[in-house]
């Protein structure tokens, strides 16, 4: 199939530039531009139905739900001739699975000869092991189920090109693999009343002149929560807030350790719990910096949401970001280096503005229009495959 992966330079760069290089940014932009063109003539209308299947909103506070909302809203308003049905199978030509529920697998096995199946890859077995505390036998069974689900599809779509090689390592022999990056629609994050921001700061005990560092995500060891707090201890004059909770309760990785940590927080750290997504634009705007010290990620929606609000982003220096965000984020490898990067931004308004501008550039790179063009390519290719499959079946009869 056509290569839909976002290509970016993997060149090693200095921490001072935090991954910034004209060549890596240019490569990322070129990769998106190459993927954006339609594979069908613009005057040729193709009409078909895509059924969206998801149970993401049954667990609050996870990025899968935000990804689902953004993708469905965008293709509904951006793809002419494509009928999008949400959790209604009907006479769909293509079924796009956003979550891996057993009901969806059963449905897929019954309809795979008639419909093209596409599944989002939000996690792999190693991701689940780091996120959930499960008995060994349960974890092994879940891993087998996950790979069986993925292998039942015609296409698997990941949001980070680095996951392509990982998926190949699992011998997923049936599906074709593609990469279409996440994106964030600008509207909800642009229209935030400054008076509401000021009120929110006061509600959380933050002063008008405080420099505020924001962490967003589930409370798991994998998210780097401990390093978030340890960084705050080194910067008592800076305020740190974390939006997110234990979405999977006691099954969350590191539950006991993080619970203990929350009982002995420094005065400048505030855990504000789960925040509804409709309220998140306000949370991003009351902050000055997005700080996500995760040890492992795919392509967090929280990063794109913060960049949509022009907030500089500080991340752990892990390879997964290099292919998607090179040049658009500051980096560190532990509390000492994280604290040093934050101190630089606090003390240098010009440097802060530079990284604010880079976040804005990243938001424009990962735009809704670019993403919709790539989904158009994939859906039309999948629909063409369905036509070939039906023609072959008809000939066989």
**CATH architecture under which domain 187-365 falls:** 3-Layer(aba) Sandwich (3.40)
User: What confidence tens digit (pLDDT) does each residue in 61-118 have?
Assistant: 567 888 899 999 999 999 988 999 998 767 899 999 999 999 999 999 999 888 999 9
**Residue 58 in tokens:** 């049954």
User: What confidence tens digit (pLDDT) does each residue in 153-212 have?
Assistant: 999 999 888 888 888 888 787 899 999 998 988 888 888 999 999 999 999 999 999 999
pLDDT at 130: 67
Domains 37-183+367-392 and 187-365 share a fold: yes
For residue 275, what are the contacts with CB-CB under 8 A and spacing of at least 6?
A: 243, 244, 283
pLDDT at 124 over 70: yes
User: What confidence tens digit (pLDDT) does each residue in 263-287 have?
Assistant: 999 999 999 999 988 899 999 999 9
What mean pLDDT value characterizes the chain? 84
How far, in Å, CA of 222 to CA of 255, rounded?
Answer: 11
Which three-class secondary structure state does DSSP give residue 130? helix
Residue-range domain boundaries for the chain: 37-183+367-392, 187-365
How far, in Å, CA of 252 to CA of 222, rounded?
Answer: 10
Strands lying side by side in the sheet with 94-97: 82-86, 48-53, 94-97, 116-120, 155-158, 176-179
Neighbours of 71 (CB within 10 A): 24
pLDDT at 208: 93
pTM of the model: 0.79
Provide the CATH topology of domain 37-183+367-392. Rossmann fold (3.40.50)
- How would you classify residue 249: left for phi > 0, otherwise alpha for psi between -120 and 50, otherwise beta? left
User: What confidence tens digit (pLDDT) does each residue in 330-358 have?
Assistant: 999 999 999 999 999 999 999 999 999 99
pLDDT at 7: 33
């Amino acid at each position: 199939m056509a290569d839909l992966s976002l290509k970016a330079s993997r060149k090693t760069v200095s921490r001072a530039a935090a991954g910034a290089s004209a060549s890596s940014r240019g490569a990322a932009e070129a990769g998106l531009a190459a993927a954006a063109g339609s594979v069908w003539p613009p005057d040729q209308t193709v009409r078909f139905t895509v059924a969206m299947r998801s149970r993401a909103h049954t667990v609050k506070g996870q990025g899968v739900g935000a990804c689902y909302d953004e993708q469905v809203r965008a293709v509904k308003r951006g793809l002419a001739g494509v009928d999008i049905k949400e959790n209604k199978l009907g006479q769909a030509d293509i079924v796009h699975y956003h979550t891996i529920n057993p009901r969806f697998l059963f449905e897929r096995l019954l309809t795979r000869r008639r419909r093209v199946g596409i599944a989002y890859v939000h996690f792999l077995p190693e991701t689940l092991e780091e996120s959930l505390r499960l008995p060994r036998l349960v974890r092994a069974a879940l891993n087998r189920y996950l790979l069986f689900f993925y292998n039942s599809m015609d296409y698997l779509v990941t949001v980070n090109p680095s996951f392509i090689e990982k998926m190949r390592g699992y011998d997923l022999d049936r599906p074709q693999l593609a990469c279409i990056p996440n994106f964030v629609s600008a509207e909800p994050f642009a229209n935030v009343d400054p008076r509401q921001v000021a009120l929110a700061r006061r509600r959380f005990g933050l002063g008008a002149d405080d420099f505020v560092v924001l962490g967003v995500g589930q409370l798991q060891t994998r998210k780097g929560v401990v390093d978030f707090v340890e960084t705050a201890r080194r910067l008592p004059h800076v305020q740190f807030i974390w939006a997110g909770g234990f979405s999977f309760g006691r099954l969350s990785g590191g539950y006991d350790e993080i619970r203990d940590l929350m009982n002995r927080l420094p005065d400048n750290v505030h855990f504000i719990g789960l925040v509804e997504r409709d309220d998140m634009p306000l949370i991003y705007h009351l902050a000055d910096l997005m700080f996500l010290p995760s040890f492992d990620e795919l392509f967090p929606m929280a990063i794109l949401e913060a960049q949509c609000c022009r907030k500089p982003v500080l991340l752990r220096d892990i390879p997964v970001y290099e292919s998607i965000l090179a040049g658009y984020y500051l980096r560190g490898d532990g509390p000492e280096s994280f604290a040093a990067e934050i101190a630089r931004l606090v003390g240098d308004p010009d440097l802060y503005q530079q990284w604010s501008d880079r976040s804005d550039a990243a938001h424009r790179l990962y735009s809704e229009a670019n993403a919709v063009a790539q989904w158009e390519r994939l859906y039309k290719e999948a629909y063409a495959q369905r036509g070939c499959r039906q023609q072959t079946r008809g000939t066989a009869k």
